[in-house]
């Protein structure tokens, strides 16, 4: 995995900032992978940009979103020469606003979900008339979902024909096939709506909606940070990702999931096709199928993997009633 940690010494960080930005550093503090930088002009974050080499595009998107009314996201800071990146020892770095008086949402609580749904809907609404061809090609991911599903079908077919070594997890093979069939059928239904002009809405998805990237301020408003995985795709991708991050640990509570989607819907209404498309995304989450492949490739050698797999399948099955609800709501 490509890491984006700032590993240079504080003295070098200070030198880079004062050489490339028209500010004077008064204090530095390492916070996770970045530096918190107090200056005579405010507080900023100094970060490694290995994952954000198209920072000029990200800066354009942040400006676009803020102009359209969603301001709760940090903006990158240009150098005094108008550049976005600072190169030092072949490593790219950048500065952005440091958010004051905010904290990460708690994965153990549900109280932030409705606010997060509204914030995500407001963020997505900023792309209603956005020309998606402005996105770099590497961020154009619309249409990759059916290719992903086909890849899982091919893998399952290989398992069925004996290409993979059978393990105890074979007892869950029918469940995997059922989920893939549901995901594929749901995607096809959504595509039928798309051909008639009522398909899922495409936006520039955030792409990384885990708890560390969702913050709340003193007014309980939600802020969204870290945009290195932005991609043009159906907006239900973001909804599915946030739900998949949060709800498994709570046993997929139907009331809370419905409250989350209703909060989004009231801010930026979902089309019937999008409930079906969401069903497809939730039926075959990539993390679940990555784990399935790991189980089969382990050939039964690791009992700890088998136990985790059994627990994961039990958790996934709790989602089934809600998948049925989404499928028939479309």
Q: Where do the structural domains in the chain lie, given as residue ranges? A: 10-100, 113-329
Counting other chains too, the contacts that 17-25 makes at CB distance below 8 Å and 24 or more residues apart are: 17/46, 17/95, 20/79, 20/80, 20/81, 20/83, 20/86, 21/77, 21/79, 21/80, 21/95, 22/80
Distance CA 82, CA 117 (A): 35
> What tokens does 26 get?
């008064």
pLDDT at 160: 79
Q: Which residues contact 289 (CB under 8 A, 6 or more apart)?
A: 152, 155, 176
pLDDT at 172: 84
Which residue stretches of the chain have pLDDT < 70?
1-4, 163-171, 299-302
Q: Are 235 and 270 in contact (CB under 8 A)?
A: no
pLDDT at 1: 38
Distance CA 328, CA 241 (A): 21
CATH 3.90.1200.10, applies to 113-329: yes
Query: Could you tell me which CATH number the domain at 10-100 has?
Result: 3.30.200.20
Over the Cα atoms of the chain, what is R_g? Answer: 22
> What tokens does 193 get?
């709506």
pLDDT at 296: 83
């Amino acid at each position: 995995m490509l890491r984006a940690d700032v590993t240079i010494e504080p003295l070098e960080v200070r030198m880079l900032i004062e050489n490339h930005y028209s500010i004077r550093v008064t204090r530095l503090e390492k916070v996770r992978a970045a530096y918190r930088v107090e200056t005579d002009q405010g507080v900023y974050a100094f970060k490694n940009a290995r994952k954000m080499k198209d920072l000029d595009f990200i800066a354009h998107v942040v400006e676009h979103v803020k102009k359209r009314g969603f301001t709760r996201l940090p903006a990158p800071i240009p150098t005094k020469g108008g550049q976005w990146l600072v190169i030092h020892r072949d490593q790219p770095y950048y500065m952005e606003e440091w958010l004051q008086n905010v904290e990460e949402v708690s994965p153990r609580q549900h109280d932030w979900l409705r606010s997060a749904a509204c914030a995500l809907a407001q963020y997505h609404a900023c792309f209603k008339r956005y020309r998606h061809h402005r996105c770099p090609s590497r961020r154009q991911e619309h249409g990759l979902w059916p290719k992903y599903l086909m890849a899982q079908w091919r893998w399952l077919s290989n398992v069925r024909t004996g290409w993979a070594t059978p393990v105890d997890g074979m007892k869950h093979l029918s469940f995997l096939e059922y989920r893939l069939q549901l995901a594929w059928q749901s995607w096809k239904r959504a595509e039928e709506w798309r051909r008639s002009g009522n398909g899922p809405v495409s936006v520039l998805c955030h792409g990384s909606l885990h708890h560390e990237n969702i913050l709340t301020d003193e007014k309980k408003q939600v802020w969204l940070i870290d945009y290195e995985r932005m991609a043009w795709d159906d907006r239900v991708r973001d909804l599915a990702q946030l739900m998949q991050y949060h709800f498994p640990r709570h046993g997929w509570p139907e009331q809370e999931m419905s409250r989350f989607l209703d909060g989004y819907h009231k801010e930026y209404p979902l089309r019937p096709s999008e409930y079906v498309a969401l069903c497809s995304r939730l039926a075959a989450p990539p993390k679940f199928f990555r784990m399935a492949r790991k189980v089969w490739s382990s050939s039964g050698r690791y009992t700890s993997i088998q136990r985790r797999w059994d627990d994961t399948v039990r958790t996934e099955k709790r989602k089934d009633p809600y998948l049925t609800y989404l499928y028939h709501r479309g």
